[in-house]
């Protein structure tokens, strides 16, 4: 076992090496449950004053400290119940978890979490969902969409928390409230039997062999991710695919074309065999996100993975301001147009009920 639940050469679910818990978390059922669970396991369990500041993680180099953080689970109470916006994927973020045990070089968490990429789970799930209810009521009669993966891969800790299941059940029963999550994880079995009423869309994040081999670590294989999407669709969930981040490299068009064809092959089989009833909305949805990086991520990535080969040259990109007030380097418009010309017609042809929700 090397670190955070990853057996060399393969993938298995997250199992932390150490756990911190806020004392206040013990006032909640989930906090008590997790404390009892980890007390009986071979992990370092200790209390912390706040989930926002964890000190004393070992490691001499930035990379060693990064690995230690990725093996660390922090259990706390979410105090801020003001939800951030989440364009273009949803109206608001739904903060059930923060962080991810995966170690992808290109990860957007290098911007948002910087040098503190430990995994956080929040035990006051009912309070978070009550806050979501208030947001929904304020926007009536319009519908409100919440993103569960804005700062995390929430499925990576679901085997401990069950928080996604709680959220899926909640949205199944609430008028005009919708939920969506994005994941690279494949442990979807606990979600399959839930009552979801078609209100939660699960998107699997995929990429091509060149990108997976060079820049993804500690996450399941792409074939398994597509299989997980098909299982969810068979259970009546609206399903989608996040093709992200899209990189331009020699042979990129062929590899992305092959990926879309591979999804289509498995998708068609699923329908041919089962004759599935329709789901609300796109079937499947696609979100296309070209590679981008912030100056902060660039610095963190170069500190952590100096030899990764991740393309981070400002001279090859265009600088653009984003919704959170900080700027990022994106591909120039001519590359963006090439990406558009590749994906839109291909998806249109292979997925008659599918839809590209956005390309950024």
Binding residues vs ligand SF4 (CB under 6 A): 100, 102-104, 107, 109, 153, 184, 219
Pick the closer one to ligand SF4 by CB: 164 or 219.
219
How far is 38 from 56, CA to CA, in rounded Å? 20
Nearest distance from C-beta of residue 102 to ligand SF4, angstroms = 3
- Give how far the C-alpha of residue 310 lies from the chain's centroid of Cα atoms, to the nearest Å: 20
Nearest distance from C-beta of residue 204 to ligand SF4, angstroms = 11
Pick the closer one to ligand SF4 by CB: 217 or 340.
217
Nearest distance from C-beta of residue 305 to ligand SF4, angstroms = 12
Pick the closer one to ligand SF4 by CB: 88 or 280.
88
Pick the closer one to ligand SF4 by CB: 302 or 350.
302
Burial annotation 154-164 (CB, 10 A radius, 16+ → b, else e): bbbbbebbebb
How far is 210 from 204, CA to CA, in rounded Å? 18
- Angstrom distances, CA of residue 110 to CA of 99, 107, 305: 10, 6, 12
Torsion of CA 271, 274, 279, 284, to 10 degrees: -30
Q: Half-sphere exposure of 27 toward its Cβ, with a 13 Å CA cutoff? A: 9
Nearest distance from C-beta of residue 64 to ligand SF4, angstroms = 17
Pairing verdict, β 72-76 and 119-122: parallel
Helix (H) or strand (E) holding 130: helix 125-139
Pick the closer one to ligand SF4 by CB: 22 or 216.
216
Pick the closer one to ligand SF4 by CB: 125 or 206.
206
Pick the closer one to ligand SF4 by CB: 45 or 222.
222
Residues paired with residue 206 on neighbouring β-strands, in sequence order: 243
Pairing verdict, β 119-122 and 97-98: antiparallel
Nearest distance from C-beta of residue 97 to ligand SF4, angstroms = 11
Nearest distance from C-beta of residue 26 to ligand SF4, angstroms = 28
Nearest distance from C-beta of residue 99 to ligand SF4, angstroms = 8
Nearest distance from C-beta of residue 90 to ligand SF4, angstroms = 16
Q: Which residues does 273 contact at the CB level (< 8 Å), separation at least 6? A: none
Nearest distance from C-beta of residue 13 to ligand SF4, angstroms = 13
DSSP code at position 99: B
Pick the closer one to ligand SF4 by CB: 136 or 204.
204
How far is 205 from 151, CA to CA, in rounded Å? 14
Tokens of 211: 């990108």
Pick the closer one to ligand SF4 by CB: 108 or 178.
108
How far is 92 from 309, CA to CA, in rounded Å? 34
Is the alpha carbon torsion for 73, 11, 253, 264 positive or negative? negative
Strand locations in 253-354, DSSP E? 285-290, 292-293, 318-321, 327-330
């Amino acid at each position: 076992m090397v670190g955070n639940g990853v057996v060399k050469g393969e993938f298995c679910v997250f199992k932390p090496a150490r756990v911190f818990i806020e004392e206040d978390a013990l006032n909640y059922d989930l906090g008590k449950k997790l404390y009892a669970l980890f007390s009986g396991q071979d992990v370092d369990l200790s209390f912390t004053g706040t989930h926002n500041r964890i000190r004393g993680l070992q490691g001499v180099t930035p990379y060693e400290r990064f690995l230690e953080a990725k093996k660390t689970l922090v259990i706390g109470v979410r105090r801020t119940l003001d939800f951030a916006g989440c364009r273009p994927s949803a109206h608001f973020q739904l903060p059930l978890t923060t962080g991810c045990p995966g170690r992808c070089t290109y990860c957007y968490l290098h911007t948002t979490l910087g040098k503190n990429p430990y995994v956080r789970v929040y035990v006051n799930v009912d309070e978070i969902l009550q806050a979501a209810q208030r947001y929904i009521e304020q926007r009536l009669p319009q519908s409100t969409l919440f993103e569960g993966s804005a700062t995390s891969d929430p499925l990576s800790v679901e085997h401990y928390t069950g928080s996604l299941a709680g959220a899926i059940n909640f949205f199944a029963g609430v008028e005009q409230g919708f939920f969506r999550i994005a994941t690279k994880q494949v442990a979807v079995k606990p979600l399959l039997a839930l009552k979801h009423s078609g209100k939660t869309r699960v998107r699997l994040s995929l990429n091509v062999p060149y990108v997976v081999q060079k820049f993804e670590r500690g996450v399941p294989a792409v074939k398994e991710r597509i299989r997980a999407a098909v299982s969810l669709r068979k259970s009546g969930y609206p399903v989608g695919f996040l093709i992200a981040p899209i990189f331009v490299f020699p042979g990129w068009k062929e590899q992305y074309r092959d990926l879309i064809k591979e999804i289509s092959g498995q998708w068609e089989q699923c329908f041919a065999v089962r004759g599935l009833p329709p789901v609300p909305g796109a079937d499947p949805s696609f979100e296309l996100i070209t590679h981008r990086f912030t100056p902060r991520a660039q610095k963190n990535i170069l500190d952590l993975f100096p030899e990764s080969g991740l393309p981070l040259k400002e001279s090859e990109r265009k600088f653009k301001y984003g919704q959170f007030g900080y700027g990022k380097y994106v591909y120039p418009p001519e590359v963006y147009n090439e990406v558009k010309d590749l994906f839109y017609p291909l998806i249109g042809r292979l997925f008659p009920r599918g839809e590209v929700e956005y390309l950024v």
